[in-house]
Structure 1
């Protein structure tokens, strides 16, 4: 078997760095507290899948596939999971759940995964011929007899067209979902990170466009390196959005220890007595908080925290905590529970949502744990959610 030397250039470097960053993001979203979010799990699986595809393109582009022929086309089935996973990510980020009958969206991936056995279980000579046919048609083929018949579906010659169709369908579904959510923004639905979701959706929508532009310009799959370069740039954009939302790089306000005279006991201080938060600043932050509540209802986000809310109000967590204590007379967690339970009561009383299960309502108002929702509801209303719903039903 004739081989070619390793080929490295700027495109190869960009693709390789994108693969590494994508794998890192995938692990990041699927570990720690982040994995509790359904949207994070979908995004983590999406980045792992797209990194696998880019990794295969990197091996082909650099000729490294000659050294690992046994891995030939290992990522091809993932072409049919990219669209569904991205759509699941957008949908779950907006509505905290997967779309109905979501399992059916994965049927093409399952079929292609089974079909993959017909080219995975082949002699190395067969895989060599497949590789040079798609990447280096100038090289001579070698005689090879397959173990089993390749491609029992007969669809593999249309892999590019089917991938284009899959990405196009799910890009449209994601954009439609965003459009519907945008219309409901003023009616009380929480849309956290809407701008970032829209940006990522349009970036994904460009993939089928690029396939249409790139594929006809190259023989077989040799133009895939341009698609992989674009994917890498998209992964870098995702990384930037993740870092932009992180509080790691923000300085926490330093608190100075009070200096007291010797042998004179320190006078007890109120919790926020030494805070520099003026009355004018309190009013400004409170105004921004009320506007945010009216526009986005951030308390419906399951991962909302005091630092995240403070960041969106352009203040520090310490100042926001003081504001909630001084002006509203409650801690952040009391404030969060109060608004969530008020929204839950509205949903339980709304004829449009009366068919929802209690656990579904708990998820909609930001609770990952149904037991935590029941505890908070009972504490604030002296009733369980079921008792509240039954009482409403008896008065109608």
Structure 2
């Protein structure tokens, strides 16, 4: 089996996988969530693009001029659908632009141009149709690339520069997985640019091979974000339910007030700080830092960390993690929370990832959260 056959098999299998993914999500319990609907559309357009490429490479329609040249530019919709997923997942869709109202008409217009092209040249025998078509496709892809990069950059700007719009989500999800998607997405655009450059260098002849890495990377990346979205959305809903049952909301540590210590004794500062941490459950905030806590209690950060070290014999991180571990231990053995996953409990206790929760829990107790729960819940 040569490289071309392997790639063709990949296109076929990935397309079938994508269609099955879409069907399963459509009828799943989270399938009605707007964010999940756009992830589903994202996977679907990649699957349609792959099955279309597979059909064209196999020359199934070579005898049918209309079908052989009517290539739908599904790639045009990938970035817009991701943007729509992002604003719905961040729950800021009411304060964001609905770019689909602009993109979809353009997409339909591009398809109409292709249809016109097919009808105009269907009876022509004097023009090198294939070469002309590839040149047009190149121009269309340049346009699609520019639109896609613009939407991609705008989406990243929202994620990185407008955190004040989605502080509620940030109290449940640090969004590192979405940042990872953006980093990997840059490589996808790089491969796209390289593929277009090779197309020009080869004068638009036999350039399909330059798209192999691009389509493989795009497919894997889109399916990865699809499965991540499923997992994260489920975890997000579970954590919201857990927090509701715990009966406390997210804390803005910069807005929490405490009575300023009436004297300068270090023990008074330590006691006031610890009382505040316990009373307001500040430790459940994954982004809690020595600086933010120091601002809250109106004490210099260096001074506060030295006081914590003096009276607890722990650095700031270990000191805060001790509260988180004790809180997690209570939830792990409480029958009222037995239906929640250990990961949700760990994240609601203030850890920013499953791995950090497990590692810290093992460090403090000598057991993993699972082992600890099983030892006490019998």
TM range (shorter): 0.5 to 0.7
Whether contact under 8 Å (2:92, 2:166) holds in the other structure is: no
Aligned twin of 1:100? 97
For the aligned residues, what is the CA RMSD? 4.6
Aligned ranges for residues 7-22 of structure 1 at < 5 Å?
9-22=5-18
Query: Which among 9, 31, 34 is matched to residue 30 of structure 2?
Result: 34
Q: Which residue is equivalent to 2:54?
A: 58
Change (3 A) 1:129 1:48: farther
Residue 151 of structure 2 is aligned to residue 170 of structure 1: yes
C-alpha displacement of 1:25: 2.6
Distance across 2 between alignment mates of 1:314 and 1:123 = 69
**TM-score, scaled to structure 1:** 0.50
TM-score by length of 2: 0.52
Alpha-carbon distance, 1:165 to partner: 0.5
The question of 1:192 aligning with 2:190 is answered no
* Other structure's SS at 1:232 match: helix
Compare 173-182 and 43-52 and name the one that shifted more: 173-182
Is the CA contact 2:35–2:85 (under 8 Å) kept in the aligned structure 1?
yes
Q: List gaps (5 residues or longer) in structure 2.
A: 235-277, 288-326, 340-344, 346-378
Choose which of 77, 85, 106 in structure 2 pairs with 1:89. 85
Taking a change above 3 Å as real, the CA distance of residues 169 and 84 of structure 1, as seen in their structure-2 partners, is same
- 1:1-396 equivalences in 2 (<5 Å): 9-66=5-62, 70-97=66-93, 99-102=96-99, 103-119=101-117, 121=119, 130=129, 158-182=139-163, 189-190=170-171, 192=173, 194-218=175-199, 219=202, 220=204, 221-222=207-208, 223-238=210-225, 240-241=227-228, 293-295=284-286, 319=333, 322=336
Tell me, in whole angstroms, the C-alpha distance in 2 between the residues paired with 1:184 and 1:82.
Answer: 24
C-alpha distance in structure 2 between counterparts of 1:122 and 1:315, whole Å: 72
Check whether the contact 1:43–1:85 (CA below 8 A) recurs between aligned residues: yes
Provide closer, same or farther for how the CA distance between residues 22 and 132 of structure 1 changes in structure 2, counting only shifts above 3 A.
Answer: farther
Q: Which has the higher helix share?
A: 2
**Structure 1 314/109 Cα, relative in aligned 2: closer, same or farther at 3 Å?**
farther
Structure with the larger RCO, 1 or 2 (CA within 8 Å, 6+ apart): 1
Could you tell me which runs of 5 or more consecutive residues in structure 1 were left unpaired when the two chains were aligned: 1-5, 138-154, 248-286, 297-312, 326-331, 333-396
- Contact 1:7 1:62 survives alignment (8 Å): no
Shift of 1:193: 6.5
Residues 65 and 118, structure 2, Cα contact 8 Å, conserved in 1: no
